[in-house]
Amino acid sequence: SSQTPKVGIIVGIIGGFIILLLFSSLLFFLCKGRRKGYKGEVFVDVAGEVDRRIAFGQLKRFAWRELQLATDSFSEKNILGQGGFGKVYKGVLSDNTKIAVKRLTDFESPGGDAAFQREVEMISVAVHRNLLRLIGFCTTPTERLLVYPFMENLSVAYRLRELKPGEPVLDWPTRKRIALGAARGLEYLHEHCNPKIIHRDVKAANVLLDEDFEAVVGDFGLAKLVDVRQTNVTTQVRGTMGHIAPEYLSTGKSSERTDVFGYGIMLLELVTGQRAIDFSRLEEEDDVLLLDHVKKLEREKKLGAIVDQNLNENYNIEEVEAMI
Apex 53 CA angle, 52 and 57, nearest 5: 130
Of 293, 303, 296, 301, nearest to 324 by C-alpha is 303
- Between the alpha carbon of residue 237 and those of residues 52, 156, 207, 256, the distances in Å are 35, 24, 20, 15
102 is in an annotated binding site: yes
- Please state the length of the chain: 324
Q: In whole angstroms, what is the distance from residue 136 CA to residue 59 CA?
A: 5
How far is it, in rounded angstroms, from Cα 21 to Cα 16?
Answer: 9
- Measure CA 67 to chain center: 22
Strand boundaries in the chain, DSSP class E: 60-61, 79-83, 86-92, 98-104, 136-139, 144-149, 207-209, 215-217
Check 51, 171, 201, 212 and give the catalytic one: 201
| Catalytic site includes residue 227 | no
* Rounded Cα gap, residues 212 and 225, in angstroms: 30
Summarize the annotated binding site for ATP as residue ranges.
102
Residues marked as catalytic? 201
